[in-house]
Structure 1
């Protein structure tokens, strides 16, 4: 085994790294009593969990560095000839943490003694990033509605969760969810097509298999990148010298839950069972360790389904005037509750949602020697979902996410260390629906009828990892490179997708169709791209109190292409004939993505090393969502858009109008001279150890993002000529990088370690994000007027001004070994010992609302009917005087623009309701033996049963004679979260039983 590791090491070293940001580093100086640096001092770091030792020596500057330390607790020992030995106890290392220590050795006395000192508080004195660590105790002991570790990511400074706690709703420093990097044990763990997983899987990995994770929000070092957003590094658990195991089950049942807001008191039947087991320990004591995890989820929910459907009177009128619409009308269920619009009724129904998920993880660690270690880890998650789709149909989704990593860490000399890894990540995804209609129908004012479209994809990424750390004088130099190969094999859509759009119930009655958009089946294709990154970073200890960290990163994202050369490249702006010549690269590569990073950290002596002042700046690049790079693939399908302009009299059925299809090809395009997203980020922060193991931080951070993702519609009708600029084409969806975004934020946090028995993590952020339609790498709003991008400048879609999150675990200090009743009897211990309280609190402001209106394309100057806004009525307040869920926005505050003009209302001028809630848990552990115990836990999510309101209707329709609000504009009809898990549910109870040893 040792020979095999030595053979593999040089091979792995030639490849890349995501940075050893899932491990810790100890660095610092050793001096004598006069402050003179001691060369050749011995440094030994001893792991309390595995009894493994790492050794090094100080160089001629008295500087030492020991890198690639697995997360955990250590004892550090320092010694030199003629000096008394010194130890640092309880030295903990979190994921990605660099601890800088200044060790002073006293002269050896006649009777030499070892001086034992408690470790320092862990102030961040080597970098300036805004971020934090979530420990395994938080992942396993805090009340999580859904048992998804992602719910904890928003507890990190700089992060916000704008939704219900899934990967696609977590954002950092004002950037897109597509700008985040998700890693597990140092290798890619993203969704590949998207950075996030396409569905809300909960056990990838299990919270019980997580040792801890770090999330860096902004201004992190040159060893991290690939995206400009948050860097989330998960670390799986490892085995130790003692066998440890546990088995558990969590149960939920609707009989313990409150009814959702807006459900008229009805409660969807729910059965949820979440069970699993862990086992870890030594295979060879102090050398070979293993850890295994399995967890399963079974959930059945009879979900409430509701929608707006045609009334009986409206059906009769429509069928009398347009009998050909019977096929469509018959698909709407019969309404049960009248609305203030005589044409619309509300329908309530139910559909069964069935979730099945099974995950597993196996990790083996091998301590080859005091200088070399290796590990291998395999994890996977298998998920399937069947749920209501549309008003009467059902949908299905399956996902499989196997992930593998092999790693070797080696201390080559006392001043040169290496960390090398290989990783494989896969996301196999299928999705579809079982609906009666072969097309979708959108009628403004009614709920959409969906078709049976779907997609199939098998996406892979291969990561080759290497980091090296070199100590020279006062410089600790870290350098590495990254190679990530991406394969995306997909057919999307795998079933033809067609949408018939009617802009009002009146147009539907008359069968006046505004548009028919069709996208045919795309054959199974294979996209390929290779990314290559490299960096060098120097941590320079200018003094024992001042550290500078200077780095330079280079990122080459490669060029996406199809493995068999398929694809139709469309770029009407840069290619003379709209379609680029065969053989053209999909886009030109960006070769100048150099990213300088600088941070300074100062511990003023006047504050007794209990305060750190930090500042940092960096440039961060990204190429956005991988799927958005593949527009040439989508053009392999038949695609067209018919409107009244191309096909006068367009109506259902559409067969008589398909002769106009040859003039209505509606492709997707992107600029062949595309630019990578660039984000300039800066921060200034002050950390202070206000009590033992308790750190308070005050920080400011900002970013300026250029070349953010943009999505516009081209080929509008020229109002003068009445013709489209590109003959033979209908609308062209053009995805580029033409937007800009800015964010400024004040952030403060309080962090207290669980070592004290009371863990506290509290964060507050006040921020403002502004953009002209794009957040970053993958989220953008199509402008209502292509020729007026400045008209879109507003608060970002994800501009959450106030965000507060807090968590706490309190192990009550009662019973044997604790402050109170430390010598309690067995009976007293049984009743009063082993209690633990946990809580998560969240409060956040509402997100912006973009008020739009439904118009006929012929009423617009360019006939591009995208996100059209009404006019704003001067002097009329935006909100009613008594704002309620049933009257959130003032319908009289808007008016219809004249024909041939765009609306003057600004984008995102209103706000949705905010949200606050408290989740709590109470746990009691009963000791069976010295090592074995049984725990029972009760959890209450949304303890105070706060009503969480959804988003009000924001499609404005002009009042008519028979209705003052024909489209329920400004009315909130649904709760914030219609699923039984995540943030924003009604009060729900969950119970746990666990045995551990």
Structure 2
């Protein structure tokens, strides 16, 4: 392995350039012609930065073509000069990140050296590349209503983007922090390549974004989601390229504060104290709004350090959010508390634990809003140094510290528990651009990216202080405790503590060479990462009966992991590419290239990977790498790939108004490091004990528990990197008034996608034997030990398919109005949708294709539009400066997976699907259901009348879902029946509720002094107060099957109820 590292480094240094994961700069190109339309060779073209004063000078080739690569995004003037003709100047051309802009110049004959000045066309279309994407410019980022001020929320405004389902993991927004990824173009949430100034911004552990840079420091960003050129690699999904703000020759800055509280918000749909069907009060539910105090504040300043040479930009943004999280749970009655207190001498553990449980304040329930504070501080610094007209250096550094408490996210139902999360996140980018000649430009990059995050129980109580003998010592927290007969959960959370420190270092470089009609790019990149993680589990404790068990210090179910497992996973990646944009004719551009990528095999720093071999010596074995002839990099084979890219752009009439484009790209994904970290949690490095039986004293849980049997994580030794084949064909049309429309087909197929399978699947119903029951007597680790049922194995056998029609309409600011709209008609299907975040969810691991169905994020129709309108009022400071902006979204629902609560087939819970024997009825009216306290405010979406759920012994014509095998139903009496097989209903066979939202912003900009402005702004999110419901319960054996109990992400920045925000901003 060491020899390979040096070999890779030698390749890196010997290559004349190395691959960028993508480009954060822009390219300007065009043709210079004379009055007759003939091309003008050797014309001088000067490109002048309006922000920094920096010039680039180049000459047209023999075909009159000029190309100026590696330009920082921003505004430029372009001038063509040649003897005998007038100077031709385009006054302002806007270059966006990762964009190629065409500016053709038509000279007039002149003998007096006069200059003709023209305005740039207000909207550009892509006439040179096959890349499909959209730029979100600074005006849009800053001025449309953006709830939470997270730029990733704007991805729904791009073609292919959809509002993520509530079942997502990385796409579920964290309070204050926003989402860690997004869904677009049928790609998984962990397949996005995030870049900032061309440097990777992914957290390698889960392939999510390390953090979202403040929109105050974001100049603009672009999302590419189909057929990238060969210079882009690493991921098989979308690419997000963020360009940061830099200083200019003018000092500029801002100071702002965005404020929200509950007084400005509407009450959430489900947070009411009356039943809308009857108008009667509901016991146990609060009517007041959830408390909220939120301030998002900060400032920035930028300008010249040395005019035309050195520029700086620095920013700070902070968030302080104090939010109440609703917790509503049945608790011990006052009488039960009194009984426990009276018997404290006999049952001290119950007495001690009861003191941690609040008395009821609403019937038998305790209802409260528990504080969930969030604190975030982010600092950024940007320096741009122009050493000479041919050499510049751009540096950027960002650091973020964030802390938050989640009182209910892990399942606790009363205050005082939950988890506490603290993180440090940072990124450093260095970009050097060197112009060796007008025809040869080189961009070199260095990058560093790190996240350090820890999750701990919020209440670090010593379990022995309350009489719990769980084998843990010190202030580590209680096991997560459940009183199952009343549904009370407190303590824990289980699965904690845990954390990770992920570090990425990279070096990359892209060279651009102009040769006649060819624009050649070539290079490569080397990246190295370390993912250090730890995980413990303070366990679970269950009392089946409150009076018979809890009050008498007896428990029936217990588990704990007495040690903390850890790992230090290293890996590297190397890429190289060649790309040619060939101007075949004045109208036709061909784009073709080839990318080579090598993703190494991860290794653990202390050889703590333990591999499962079902065909070992004498049977199943566990072997530690680095022993028994097993190499350190034996988890799976190293993988390399060749990725062709091919496309074209045809300017039909030669006017840059109508362009047909098409492309194909083979895109390979780099696996997240958590693909293998489970291997370091195998015995002997991680052990657990469990008890499940007759009631035993809680003071001796650990002593009474027995070894659980080995729980094994595995990876298929033939694991392969996932890949997507992406293709599209589209037409773009520029219209008068700065309007551009496009219509196209977009598709992709995915292969070798990551998926978890059960390698120890039982052969039949409950009680049937698993394939592997004990380790071989010859196993190097734990010989002869019982195997604890399921074995989760990481495989690469997933597939996907996506087909879509995209329609895009955009209008640049003209007569005060700017519009951007897109519509998508699509269908996405796969075997599994969660990738690196997905656990075992196949009802039959021996037939993975039986899981093929609609993707969790499938959306049949999606529309998103934005508008910015500058009101045409002119005059003094009181009547001018008004502006309105809006975001409008609509999409149809995400699929709902119908499951059974327990398993009759494979030893897994909640995975088996029932038989579909009738017609599924959904209630589009979503009328509230009158009934018990727990369901009085729920919304029924899927019909669940008496008889809707049955098994083979209770079938009637009214039945819709039949439970296979020997399972009990919550809504119909059952009797034990013979195994009848797994259910036949297709995965994700029902479509859930849709999503509709209108956000509106109004602002007044007032000039205070020369170059000093104040903007007062009000944002209304979900201004129509339209509740966007979450998914209904899909478990047919749940008492709430078919019911919806919450809006989408109700505690995040974008809860599904009207929210108002007031802000003020000073700019200069």
Do they superpose with TM above 0.5? Answer: yes
Q: Which residue of 1 aligns with 2:933?
A: none
The Cα shift of 1:347 comes to: 5.2
Q: CA RMSD in A?
A: 3.6
Q: Which residue of 1 aligns with 2:728?
A: 683
Q: Does 1:296 align with 2:363?
A: no
Question: 2:566 touches 2:680 (CA, 8 Å); kept in 1?
Answer: no
How many residue pairs align between the two structures? 946
The Cα shift of 1:577 comes to: 3.6
The Cα shift of 1:374 comes to: 1.0
Partner Cα separation in structure 2 for residue 410 and residue 25 of structure 1: 15
Q: 2:608 aligns with which of 566, 569, 575?
A: 566
Q: Which runs of 5+ in 1 are unaligned?
A: 1-9, 339-344, 816-823, 958-965
Q: 2:150 aligns with which of 131, 148, 151?
A: 148
Judging changes above 3 Å, is the alpha-carbon distance between structure 1 residues 382 and 362 closer, same or farther for their aligned structure 2 residues?
Answer: same
The Cα shift of 1:938 comes to: 1.1
Q: 1:905 aligns with which of 977, 981, 985?
A: 985
The Cα shift of 1:188 comes to: 1.7
Question: 1:444 touches 1:854 (CA, 8 Å); kept in 2?
Answer: no
TM-score by length of 2: 0.82
Q: 2:1060 aligns with which of 981, 989, 992?
A: 989
Q: 1:528 aligns with which of 570, 576, 587?
A: 570
3-state SS of 1:798 partner? coil
Partner Cα separation in structure 1 for residue 575 and residue 992 of structure 2: 41
Partner Cα separation in structure 1 for residue 800 and residue 541 of structure 2: 32
The one-character-per-residue Cα deviations of 1:527-554 (angstroms, maximum 9, x if unpaired) are 1111111111100001121111111111
Q: 2:242 aligns with which of 193, 211, 234?
A: 234
The one-character-per-residue Cα deviations of 1:63-107 (angstroms, maximum 9, x if unpaired) are 33211111111111122344433222321100000123444444x
Q: Does 1:946 align with 2:965?
A: no
3-state SS of 1:667 partner? strand
Question: 1:521 touches 1:637 (CA, 8 Å); kept in 2?
Answer: no
Residues 503-512 or 787-796, more deviating: 503-512
3-state SS of 1:666 partner? strand
Q: Which runs of 5+ in 2 are unaligned?
A: 1-11, 166-171, 273-286, 460-476, 775-785, 929-938, 949-959, 967-978
Question: 2:86 touches 2:111 (CA, 8 Å); kept in 1?
Answer: no
Q: Which residue of 2 aligns with 1:478?
A: 521
Q: 2:1009 aligns with which of 923, 929, 946?
A: 929
Partner Cα separation in structure 1 for residue 695 and residue 320 of structure 2: 48
3-state SS of 1:110 partner? coil
Partner Cα separation in structure 1 for residue 659 and residue 545 of structure 2: 59
Q: Does 1:205 align with 2:213?
A: yes
Q: Which residue of 1 aligns with 2:753?
A: 708
The Cα shift of 1:324 comes to: 13
3-state SS of 2:479 partner? coil
Q: For 1:184-199, what aligned pairs fall within 5 Å after superposition?
A: 184-197=196-209
Partner Cα separation in structure 1 for residue 338 and residue 658 of structure 2: 75
Judging changes above 3 Å, is the alpha-carbon distance between structure 1 residues 954 and 119 closer, same or farther for their aligned structure 2 residues?
Answer: same
Question: 2:84 touches 2:111 (CA, 8 Å); kept in 1?
Answer: no
Partner Cα separation in structure 1 for residue 244 and residue 54 of structure 2: 18
Q: Which residue of 2 aligns with 1:4?
A: none
Judging changes above 3 Å, is the alpha-carbon distance between structure 1 residues 796 and 848 closer, same or farther for their aligned structure 2 residues?
Answer: same
The Cα shift of 1:312 comes to: 10
The one-character-per-residue Cα deviations of 1:21-67 (angstroms, maximum 9, x if unpaired) are 21100123334455554443222100111111011223344433211
Residues 435-444 or 860-869, more deviating: 435-444
Judging changes above 3 Å, is the alpha-carbon distance between structure 1 residues 793 and 591 closer, same or farther for their aligned structure 2 residues?
Answer: closer
Q: 2:862 aligns with which of 797, 803, 811?
A: 803
Judging changes above 3 Å, is the alpha-carbon distance between structure 1 residues 773 and 756 closer, same or farther for their aligned structure 2 residues?
Answer: same
Q: For 1:948-963, what aligned pairs fall within 5 Å after superposition?
A: 948-957=1028-1037
Partner Cα separation in structure 2 for residue 652 and residue 843 of structure 1: 56
The Cα shift of 1:332 comes to: 7.1
Question: 1:373 touches 1:409 (CA, 8 Å); kept in 2?
Answer: yes
Q: Does 1:975 align with 2:1019?
A: no
Q: Does 1:541 align with 2:583?
A: yes
Question: 1:140 touches 1:207 (CA, 8 Å); kept in 2?
Answer: yes
Q: Which residue of 1 aligns with 2:787?
A: 729
Question: 1:24 touches 1:69 (CA, 8 Å); kept in 2?
Answer: yes
The Cα shift of 1:274 comes to: 1.5
Q: Which residue of 2 aligns with 1:614?
A: 661
Q: Does 1:879 align with 2:922?
A: yes
Q: Which residue of 1 aligns with 2:160?
A: 158
Q: 2:532 aligns with which of 486, 489, 501?
A: 489
Q: Which residue of 1 aligns with 2:853?
A: 794
Judging changes above 3 Å, is the alpha-carbon distance between structure 1 residues 714 and 174 closer, same or farther for their aligned structure 2 residues?
Answer: same
Q: 1:841 aligns with which of 872, 888, 895?
A: 888
Q: Which residue of 2 aligns with 1:279?
A: 301
Q: Which residue of 1 aligns with 2:110?
A: 109
Question: 2:17 touches 2:522 (CA, 8 Å); kept in 1?
Answer: no
Q: 1:257 aligns with which of 237, 261, 265?
A: 265
The Cα shift of 1:776 comes to: 5.0
Partner Cα separation in structure 2 for residue 482 and residue 506 of structure 1: 65
The Cα shift of 1:795 comes to: 0.6
The Cα shift of 1:500 comes to: 6.2
3-state SS of 1:948 partner? coil
Partner Cα separation in structure 2 for residue 652 and residue 696 of structure 1: 72
Q: 2:228 aligns with which of 216, 220, 228?
A: 220
The Cα shift of 1:699 comes to: 1.8
Judging changes above 3 Å, is the alpha-carbon distance between structure 1 residues 734 and 513 closer, same or farther for their aligned structure 2 residues?
Answer: farther
Question: 1:178 touches 1:779 (CA, 8 Å); kept in 2?
Answer: no
Judging changes above 3 Å, is the alpha-carbon distance between structure 1 residues 882 and 100 closer, same or farther for their aligned structure 2 residues?
Answer: closer
Q: Which residue of 2 aligns with 1:384?
A: 403
Judging changes above 3 Å, is the alpha-carbon distance between structure 1 residues 869 and 792 closer, same or farther for their aligned structure 2 residues?
Answer: same
Q: Which residue of 1 aligns with 2:289?
A: 267
Partner Cα separation in structure 2 for residue 721 and residue 927 of structure 1: 78
Partner Cα separation in structure 2 for residue 935 and residue 12 of structure 1: 53
The Cα shift of 1:729 comes to: 1.2
Q: For 1:127-138, what aligned pairs fall within 5 Å after superposition?
A: 127-138=129-140
TM-score by length of 1: 0.88
Residues 35-44 or 408-417, more deviating: 35-44
Partner Cα separation in structure 2 for residue 228 and residue 445 of structure 1: 47
The Cα shift of 1:597 comes to: 0.8
Q: Does 1:466 align with 2:466?
A: no
3-state SS of 2:1043 partner? coil
Q: Which residue of 1 aligns with 2:909?
A: 865
Partner Cα separation in structure 1 for residue 1025 and residue 943 of structure 2: 28
Partner Cα separation in structure 2 for residue 24 and residue 311 of structure 1: 68
Question: 2:16 touches 2:523 (CA, 8 Å); kept in 1?
Answer: no
Question: 1:600 touches 1:616 (CA, 8 Å); kept in 2?
Answer: yes
Q: Which residue of 2 aligns with 1:396?
A: 420
Judging changes above 3 Å, is the alpha-carbon distance between structure 1 residues 656 and 778 closer, same or farther for their aligned structure 2 residues?
Answer: closer
Q: Which residue of 2 aligns with 1:674?
A: 719
Q: For 1:2-17, what aligned pairs fall within 5 Å after superposition?
A: 16-17=18-19
Partner Cα separation in structure 2 for residue 468 and residue 651 of structure 1: 71
The Cα shift of 1:230 comes to: 1.1
Q: Which residue of 2 aligns with 1:58?
A: 60
Partner Cα separation in structure 2 for residue 904 and residue 316 of structure 1: 52
Judging changes above 3 Å, is the alpha-carbon distance between structure 1 residues 450 and 697 closer, same or farther for their aligned structure 2 residues?
Answer: farther
Partner Cα separation in structure 2 for residue 710 and residue 506 of structure 1: 43
The Cα shift of 1:149 comes to: 1.4
The one-character-per-residue Cα deviations of 1:381-412 (angstroms, maximum 9, x if unpaired) are 11111231312313211111111111110111
Partner Cα separation in structure 1 for residue 673 and residue 225 of structure 2: 21
Partner Cα separation in structure 2 for residue 449 and residue 780 of structure 1: 25
The Cα shift of 1:664 comes to: 1.7
Question: 2:732 touches 2:741 (CA, 8 Å); kept in 1?
Answer: yes
Partner Cα separation in structure 1 for residue 179 and residue 85 of structure 2: 53
3-state SS of 2:940 partner? coil
3-state SS of 1:373 partner? strand
3-state SS of 2:612 partner? coil
Q: Which residue of 2 aligns with 1:759?
A: 818
Question: 2:1005 touches 2:1014 (CA, 8 Å); kept in 1?
Answer: yes
Q: Which residue of 2 aligns with 1:342?
A: none
The Cα shift of 1:360 comes to: 1.1
3-state SS of 2:1025 partner? coil
Partner Cα separation in structure 1 for residue 549 and residue 847 of structure 2: 29
Question: 1:25 touches 1:69 (CA, 8 Å); kept in 2?
Answer: yes
